[in-house]
């Protein structure tokens, strides 16, 4: 008789919070290997997978899809794979002393018969795979699945990205119009569409945004313009050096470093508002808004930025954003944020206002698209039009905690640090 192993929701992954079991990725009787994803969960901030604790077969499903589950809950059970000797013995000894079929053998045969050989698992798509598909605008139907029962894995998607298959072109439809300019009368018809249910993450984001803007913080946004020349030059000289050490040097790294300097000068921005006091923090823990395509937005936190040099910030930022995009974030990775940055310019946005404050913080920085613009500078005492790499930087604040004076002082220091980098 195989040993049964509990499949549980580990307490250290959720830190006492609850989650919803959104999908079982395997069925009863399915054979899995240790580390295979078998359950998909959603918390209020992340999607995550529970993996098989050992090799074996799924023997029991306890928690149903859509059910709220707590930490250390037994979600199901699986039978551990026996060694080859006992496995052979069990296969050959299928009858008992009276010549009747062995009960365990009969049950194993029934399981094998109940599971159709051609049962496809292509519809079982984990969050990491969904994010890759969304980020690269890929159609999963074009990707061959090498996982169990044809399931598309993250490696399958990455392999397709590296070597995409050409999409077959549909044959052109011959025109039946007498002229390319012939008009076609369109008749109004009922709207056709489909309802796509919100995920738990999307519902939480929606409630959080409405509550922050409408019920909690009176938002005010201030905007400065910033010259990126010096950090572009600094990055050009150092990104190869960082890459050789396995770290990607991004502009966001510089922004986090400048935010720490500005927050040290204006500690009211690195704070939490209470009815009777403003709680200002010693540590500057910066949340980095990270888009997950259609799946939503998460805010992994880079801790104690004020104690780091540029390389350490880049390394920590790389680790957090990589976990976010691969669906590996834990709630502890998004804990204790004190101020947030939204680098919305990476998707082409010049300016956004207000950027909704990530409660219970009191400020959020926005960085617009880097764009070459004509600006007027004094050259040899003469006003001269020159081309500079510029972007807009904004700070949306909780007006209960901050006024224009502190807001503009923060932005002025932030811009000063960026523009004077390396001087």
Label residue 308 left, alpha or beta by phi (over 0 means left) and psi (-120 to 50 means alpha): beta
Which of 228, 214, 238 minimizes the C-alpha distance to 367?
228
From 208, 234, 238, 399, active-site residue: 399
Return all residues near 132 (Cβ < 8 A) that are at least 6 apart: 138, 154, 157, 158, 161
CB atoms within 10 A of CB 133: 20
Return all residues near 422 (Cβ < 8 A) that are at least 6 apart: 230, 231, 233, 234
CA dist., res. 54 & res. 51, Å (int): 9
Rounded to 5 degrees, what are φ and ψ at 387?
-100, 125
Q: Which two tokens stand for residue 139?
A: 């159609």
Using CB atoms within 10 Å of the CB of residue 324, give its burial: 0 to 12 exposed, 13 to 18 middle, 19+ buried.
Answer: buried
Q: Which two tokens stand for residue 378?
A: 């004094």
- The answer to whether residue 344 is catalytic is no
CA dist., res. 220 & res. 322, Å (int): 32
From 144, 294, 403, 405, active-site residue: 403
Rounded to 5 degrees, what are φ and ψ at 118?
-100, 15
- The answer to whether residue 399 is catalytic is yes
Residues labelled catalytic: 399, 403
């Amino acid at each position: 008789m195989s040993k049964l192993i509990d499949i549980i929701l580990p307490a250290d992954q959720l830190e006492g919070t609850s989650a919803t079991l959104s999908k079982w990725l395997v069925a009863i009787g399915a054979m899995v290997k240790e580390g295979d994803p078998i359950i998909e969960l959603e918390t209020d901030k992340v999607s995550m997978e529970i993996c098989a604790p050992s090799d074996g077969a799924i023997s029991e499903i306890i928690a149903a899809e859509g059910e709220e589950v707590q930490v250390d809950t037994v979600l199901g059970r699986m039978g551990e794979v026996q060694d080859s000797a006992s496995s052979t013995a069990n296969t050959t000894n299928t009858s008992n002393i009276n010549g009747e079929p062995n009960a365990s053998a009969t049950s194993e045969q029934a399981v094998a018969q109940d599971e159709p050989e051609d049962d496809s698992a292509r519809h079982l798509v984990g969050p990491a795979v969904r994010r890759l598909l969304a980020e690269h605008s890929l159609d999963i139907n074009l990707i061959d699945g090498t996982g169990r029962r044809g399931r598309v894995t993250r490696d399958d998607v990455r392999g397709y990205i590296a070597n995409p298959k050409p999409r077959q072109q549909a044959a052109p439809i011959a025109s039946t119009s007498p002229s390319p300019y012939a008009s076609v009368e369109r008749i109004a018809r009922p709207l056709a569409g489909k309802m796509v249910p919100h995920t738990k993450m999307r519902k939480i984001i929606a409630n959080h945004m409405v509550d922050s803007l409408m019920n909690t913080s009176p938002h005010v946004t201030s905007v400065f313009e910033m010259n990126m020349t010096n950090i572009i030059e600094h990055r050009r000289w150092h990104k190869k050096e960082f890459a050789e050490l396995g770290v990607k040097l991004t502009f966001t790294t510089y922004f986090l470093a400048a935010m720490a300097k500005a927050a040290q000068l204006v500690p009211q921005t690195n704070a939490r508002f209470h009815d009777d006091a403003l709680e200002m923090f010693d540590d500057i823990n910066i949340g980095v808004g990270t888009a997950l395509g259609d799946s939503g937005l998460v805010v992994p936190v880079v801790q104690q930025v004020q104690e780091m040099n540029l390389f350490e910030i880049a390394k920590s930022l790389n680790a957090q954003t990589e976990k976010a995009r691969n669906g590996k974030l834990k709630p502890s990775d998004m804990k204790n944020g004190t101020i947030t940055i939204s680098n919305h310019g990476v998707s082409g946005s010049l300016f956004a206002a207000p950027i909704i404050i990530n409660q219970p913080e009191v400020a959020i920085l926005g960085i617009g698209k880097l764009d070459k613009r004509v600006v007027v500078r004094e050259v040899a005492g003469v006003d001269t039009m020159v081309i500079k790499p510029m972007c807009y930087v904004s700070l949306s604040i909780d007006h209960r905690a901050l006024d224009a004076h502190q807001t503009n002082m923060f932005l002025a220091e932030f811009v000063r640090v960026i523009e004077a980098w390396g001087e």
